[in-house]
Amino acid sequence: MTILMSLIMATTLSNLVLFDFAKNKDTGKWMVVNDGVMGGLSKGTFTAGENGTAEFKGTISLENNGGFSSVRCSTGKIDVEGFTTLELHLKGDGKKYQVRIQENSSDYWSYIYYFQTSGAWETIKIPLAEMYPSFRGRKLNLPNYSGKTMVELIFLIGNSKAESFNLELRKAELKQGA
């Protein structure tokens, strides 16, 4: 009976909340990774913000072959099959960002999608099937994201210029047919 109930719940679930800082301000699962891993000097931070948000902010430096900052959340291996859209509720600073999904912990690549922020609170809808595989800024000759599993969710800024950035995150959820 438990297996049957799980199957019924899985097939009727139309959305899966990945994070909602309005309900849980815990940023403990999140880790900032800057270009310092490759000698760069960019600085990023991730902290619980006001009004049910978390803030990813800092500065990008191009010195020492730098140029990016990212924040990532390990989700543990979760089944995301059947979901078609990643919906982000956020407020950016008018800059372009990437959202990345790592499908398996053994993969060296992530699936990425670029989105432009407007400077206002907005909802960004990302078609999972359009997320393509990339490693160190290079598109790989592999199929796009299969949408079967997820182990990590990542936000990254790296626009090939020195700049400050500020991205406020409120909520991310996977949706069916959105």
When pLDDT is averaged across residues 39-44 and rounded to a whole number, the result is 95
Classify 43 as helix, strand or coil.
strand
Confidence class of residue 38 from pLDDT cuts 50, 70 and 90?
Answer: confident
% of the chain beyond a pLDDT of 70? 92
State both tokens at 41. Answer: 């000097």
Confidence class of residue 18 from pLDDT cuts 50, 70 and 90?
Answer: very high
Q: What architecture does CATH give domain 15-175?
A: Sandwich (2.60)
Classify 35 as helix, strand or coil.
helix
pTM of the full structure:
0.90
Residue 169: pLDDT over 50 = yes
Residues 82-91 have pLDDT tens digits of 999 999 999 9
Confidence class of residue 51 from pLDDT cuts 50, 70 and 90?
Answer: confident
Determine phi and psi for 5, rounding to 5 degrees. -65, -40
Residue 139: pLDDT over 70 = yes
Confidence class of residue 2 from pLDDT cuts 50, 70 and 90?
Answer: very low
Residue 124: pLDDT over 80 = yes
CA 69 to mean position of chain CA atoms: 12
Which residues, in sequence order, are CB contacts of 38 under 8 Å at separation 6+? 65, 66
DSSP code at position 119: S
Give the start-to-end residue ranges of the domains of the chain: 15-175
Which residues, in sequence order, are CB contacts of 77 under 8 Å at separation 6+? 104, 105, 149, 150, 151
Which residues, in sequence order, are CB contacts of 6 under 8 Å at separation 6+? none
Q: CB–CB of 145/104 below 8 Å?
A: no
pLDDT of residue 178: 57
Amino acid (1-letter code) at residue 134 = S
Q: CB–CB of 32/70 below 8 Å?
A: yes
When pLDDT is averaged across residues 26-51 and rounded to a whole number, the result is 92
Amino acid (1-letter code) at residue 95 = K
State both tokens at 19. Answer: 């994070």
pLDDT, averaged across the chain: 91
The CB density around residue 80, as the number of other CB atoms within 10 Å, is 21
Confidence class of residue 7 from pLDDT cuts 50, 70 and 90?
Answer: very low
